[in-house]
Amino acid sequence: MSHNGNGTRNSNGSHRWWQVWKRGRDLDLTAYRRLALQLHLGLPRGGEHSRSVLMVTPNESDFCANGSITLASCIAEELRRPVLLVDAGNEAEVSRLLGSPASQGLTEFLSDPMRPLQDLALPTSQNNVWFLSRGSGQTPPFAASPENAHNLLVKSARQWDFVLVTGGPVLKNSLALAMAPHVGRVLLLVIENHSQIDDIDAAQNALEQCGARNISLVLSQLHAAVR
């Protein structure tokens, strides 16, 4: 897929493309660090928007999990502040990659929103990065409510400087759609030669209809995942 076209639609009607790959693998982290700084500057502390980001894909791809882990690490390195990575994906791919597929996490918090987040967030080997796993149980039917999504982000903002939520395929994830209007920015991860135009349009439309304020397309290549 080429990155020529209409780009991404923000709340002010403008278009933006962000790119997290170059032709050489050695430039991948540089691109993620640049994206981390762009997010930091675009969502200033004390600003009107939450210092939080939702990363999703228009269709099935395990690149979203790899990309969110890498971006969370780069944000923590660049800001030297605490960052919370939240696995809100249906398949719990981030939890599997980080070796905590059965750990209590988001599911347990949504079942009991009064539970302190610090009791569920796990430290990682990356300095300043904490992780809230998908959870060990079934997601309760009421989980995907805007109230629960907003509550999660408000509580996490009190303890972490930046929050990155990974939602996977957004058209199949009602929880990710519920979070979309409450985060500072939605990153729609588009994979070259993999993401279909119709799926991208459908994902953007669904996010807009749910009230997402700022949506940006992030272009990447399938083989350029940062490990």
Query: Which residue segments constitute the domains of the chain, with CATH numbers given?
Result: 28-41+49-224 (3.40.50.300)
Confidence category of residue 99, pLDDT binned at 50, 70, 90: confident
Confidence category of residue 195, pLDDT binned at 50, 70, 90: confident
Q: Which residue has the tokens 């669904």?
A: 206
Token pair, residue 143, equals 């989980």
Bridging pattern class, strands 83-87 and 129-132:
parallel
Mean pLDDT rounded to a whole number for the chain: 81
- Do 135 and 31 contact (CB within 8 A), yes or no? no
pTM over 0.75: yes
Torsion of CA 72, 192, 189, 43, to 10 degrees: 70
- Do 50 and 130 contact (CB within 8 A), yes or no? no
135-145 per-position pLDDT tens digit:
876 666 656 67
63-76 per-position pLDDT tens digit:
788 889 999 999 99
Which of 13-17, 58-62, 185-189 is the least confident region? Answer: 13-17
- Do 188 and 217 contact (CB within 8 A), yes or no? yes
